Amino acid sequence: MSGHGKHSPAEIRAKLNHPIIDGDGHWVEYDPVFAEQMRKVGGDLAADGFLAAMAVTRDSLLLSVEERRRRRVSMPGFWTRQTGNTYDRATAMIPHLLYDRLDEIGSDFAIVYPTAGLRLPRIKDDATRRAVIRAYNIVSAGYFKDLQDRMTPAAIIPMHTPDEAIDELEFVTKELGSKVGMFGSAMPRQTDSIKKGENPDTDRLAVWYEVFGIDSIYDYDPVWQKCVDVKIAPTFHSAGSNQALRNSPTNFTYNHIGHFADAGHAAAKGIFLGGVTRRFPQLRFAFLEGGVGWGAQLFGDLMEHWERRNIRALENMKPEKLNRDMLMSYVEKYGYKEHAEALKARDGWPDPDLHMTGGIDNLDDFAACQFTRKEDWVDLYVKPYYFGCEADDRMNATAFLKLNPFDAQLNAIYSSDIGHFDVIDMREPLAEAYELVEDGYITQDNFRDFVFTNAVTLWGTQNPDFFKGTRVEREAAAVLNAARQPVLADAAK
């Protein structure tokens, strides 16, 4: 979009009859001070591990282009903190200043995610990772403890093993009172066929990525059950840069574009095909900062594959269904002599090597979803999935247009991304989001869902008390009560 909305936040809010919830703002931890706070609560392992993780960008920038190319180290972001707008830089660093500016920015309530913390789930050493994340969560909660009526920070939940995730979920909810969890995803795991430890670049590149629902070495169902028990909606804010097709040694923009969407796409697809949303229908999942365009495309892609690859459709693809005599007659009549000879040499089978199924017992890729009708897609994909959308993303409109299967409206949530380099002025995101209304692409009701209702149902469905004691308590309760009425009516029947 233009990047410059036509109205100020105050002018936009004057047009609305509902609050604004920022589903994904960021603060920028001041590493030297933050690390020393971590040292006090988690010791040297936590503080030094944190600083080492933060040094990855610096270390990559110190390499020459030739060395990054030789080792296939991606070009990281540089100059990614505000300097021209010092007021916003200070606001990103100081939660109390952000709190005081929320009205000016245009938000009634904000979910605040880490910046430094985004990379902590990728720490390889188990003991270091757990120490760093535990200390990070303690220190972060302390910075926001007096601001809970208008802001709440996301605690980091590492997902390397179910036990690790469950331990942190227990701690942050019971000891820190955390209401939001930022779950790690797309974690690299060592490829079994490669001997570990012989070369750090081999270890870094010879990996596959965890997507939880399918092909995992662990059963993550206990984690999802723990989320239900402690009333936490899993939200994913994971990186897809420095991987595979986003690994340019020279161009940060090439590596950056689409990387959050890529990581979200992998997790959403794995969780869905793994039947997690079938087994845990009460859970809500969010995939942040990648927009909703990929979510709309994934919805269509999954359904189209199901239509052609569900177990009934595969019946028509069984090799024995082929009429070899008929095929031979067509080849002899319309084909070439060498085609007919090759076909006869294979006993009429055009591709006998393709009769194999790779040792898979259940050929139905969608078996875990337990589909009984097409409308199950609404319950298994539309209802549980939420998509964090930056304000200036024009594809946000795809959540509301009648082009998704069943004309379904996807759950897009307003995500300002304040604190990061792509927000030049913290007063602009709300105006940029509202441009879709001004330009006629979405309605005022769509906008209400985008900046308020969907955020309420994401966190409030999981935890009915999520907004209790906040600036938006009354309005959020009305949304949740309205959402419960159809459920209660169905139960009464």
pLDDT, tens digit (0-9, with 9 covering 90-100), for 190-213: 899 988 877 888 888 889 999 999
Q: What is the maximal distance between C-alpha atoms in the chain?
A: 83
* Per-chain mean pLDDT for the chain: 93
Is pLDDT above 50 for 491?
A: no
Strand partners, 181: 155, 234
Instruction: Report domain 9-307+384-492's class.
Output: alpha beta
Handedness of CA 222, 228, 232, 238 (dihedral sign): positive
Per-domain boundaries in the chain: 9-307+384-492, 311-355
pLDDT at 486: 65
Phi-psi region of 469 (alpha: psi -120 to 50; beta: other; left: phi over 0): left
- Listed in sequence order, the residues at least 6 apart from 136 whose beta carbon sits closer than 8 Å to its beta carbon are 38, 46, 50, 114, 116, 117, 120, 156
Q: What is the pLDDT of residue 158?
A: 96
Per-residue model confidence as pLDDT tens digits over 257-268: 999 999 999 999
Is 247 a residue whose pLDDT tops 50? yes
pLDDT digits (tens, 9 = 90+) for 65-124: 999 999 999 999 999 988 999 999 999 999 999 999 999 999 999 999 999 988 899 999
What is the pLDDT, as a whole number, of residue 384?
A: 97
- pLDDT tens-place string over residues 366-424: 999 999 888 899 999 999 999 999 999 999 999 998 889 899 999 999 999 999 998 99
Query: In the chain, pLDDT over 90 holds for what percent of residues?
Result: 81
Q: Of 259, 258, 254, which is closest to residue 75 (Cα–Cα)?
A: 254
Q: Tokens for 109? A: 């309530």
The pLDDT value given to residue 204: 87
Q: Is the pLDDT of residue 445 over 50?
A: yes
Give the span between the Cα atoms of 77 and 96, in whole angstroms.
27
**Cα separation of 301 and 305, whole Å?**
6
**pLDDT class for 23, splitting at 50, 70, 90?**
very high
Alpha-carbon distance 167 to 133, whole Å? Answer: 12
Task: Sheet containing 234-236: give its strands across.
Answer: 21-26, 109-113, 151-157, 180-183, 234-236, 285-287, 385-390, 411-415
